[in-house]
Amino acid sequence: MRIDVVSIFPEYLSALDLSLIGKARQQGLLELTVTDLREFTTDRHRTVDDTPYGGGAGMVMKPEPWAAALGAVLGGGPAAGPGAAGERPVLVVPSPAGEVFTQATARDLALRKHLVFACGRYEGIDERVVDWSREHFEVRPMSLGDYVLNGGEVAVLAMVEAIGRLVPGVVGNPDSLVEESHADGLLEYPVYTKPALWRDRPVPEVLLSGHHGRIARWRRDRQLQRTAARRPDLVGSLDPTGLDRADRAVLAEAGWVVSGGRVVRAGDGAAGEPVA
């Protein structure tokens, strides 16, 4: 996979030299290039921002350096298109006004050949850059969550890590990707390691039993309980056909039932359906 990041703070992205993503780059699994937006300015102050039309606080990133930088990333100057035949690169524009980045988004983007990340600063990038980019890229304005950061770099670090670890070969044991939070719409179960007794706190006995079926059931129950307690929005999105009798019993204890083909809060006029 090829990844390009454009930023006025290229050094911010140096964390991508470390750990599994750094190793994946060394191994050639990820071809990641960070480009300094200021290289595409034409004035002696290397200006990338200007005052907003219509007034208001803050500064807005100018369109020209962005068009030049993105054109260079595409490999043919500002007016160039995707170049090589085939799928268009995806341009991810971090923004608190974008669609929320989720594990499903990460899975989707991990299948793409070329991702380009445009790190905004100040009040963001002139909107015409986003419009113009649609001629050359599949554009995805993307939010890390409902809060405001100073710039896109932190969001890009998070997104590249979440996407990169799904690229085959980046994480040594692919099984660890299957069992973790959000892989199946649920949060992960709690995990423990040695010693079996720590500060008067024993590891749950079932985990020492060696009984794979009981361990799997215990973990599934904890997933359902934890998700119901911490992320009820995820419970409401569960597919009831994937819930067995034991799952439904755990959810019922947490105040959820299957009704009308959906998982809903008990008491919202919902009558629980018998398990098929």
Q: What is the Cα–Cα distance from 114 to 90, expressed in whole angstroms? A: 6
Looking at this protein, which amino acid is placed at residue 236? G
Nearer to ligand SAM, 34 or 251 (CB): 34
Residue of minimal CB distance from ligand SAM? 120
SS3 content of the chain, % helix, strand, coil (to 5): 35, 20, 45
Nearer to ligand SAM, 47 or 143 (CB): 143
Nearer to ligand SAM, 118 or 258 (CB): 118
Least distance from C-beta 52 to ligand SAM, angstroms?
10
Least distance from C-beta 125 to ligand SAM, angstroms?
6
Least distance from C-beta 96 to ligand SAM, angstroms?
4
User: Residues in the site for ligand SAM, rule: CB under 6 A?
Assistant: 94-97, 119-121, 123-124, 143-145, 147-152, 155
Q: What is the Cα–Cα distance from 66 to 57, expressed in whole angstroms? A: 21
Least distance from C-beta 61 to ligand SAM, angstroms?
8
Asked if 120 and 9 count as a contact pair (C-beta separation under 8 A), the reply is no
Nearer to ligand SAM, 24 or 61 (CB): 61
Nearer to ligand SAM, 94 or 240 (CB): 94
Q: What is the Cα–Cα distance from 178 to 184, expressed in whole angstroms? A: 8
Least distance from C-beta 149 to ligand SAM, angstroms?
4
Nearer to ligand SAM, 89 or 120 (CB): 120
Give 140's strand partners: 92
Q: What's the distance, Cα to Cα, between the start and end of the chain in Å?
A: 44
Q: Of the candidates 117, 115, 126, 116, which has an alpha carbon nearest to the alpha carbon of residue 48?
A: 126
Q: What is the Cα–Cα distance from 83 to 177, expressed in whole angstroms? A: 34
> Could you give the 3-state DSSP secondary structure of residue 118?
strand
Least distance from C-beta 99 to ligand SAM, angstroms?
10
Nearer to ligand SAM, 58 or 202 (CB): 58
Can you spell out the DSSP letters for 52-65?
PTT--SS-EE-HHH
Least distance from C-beta 58 to ligand SAM, angstroms?
7
Report residue 235 as tokens: 């419970």
Q: What is the Cα–Cα distance from 150 to 88, expressed in whole angstroms? A: 29
Q: Of the candidates 182, 147, 151, which has an alpha carbon nearest to the alpha carbon of residue 166?
A: 182
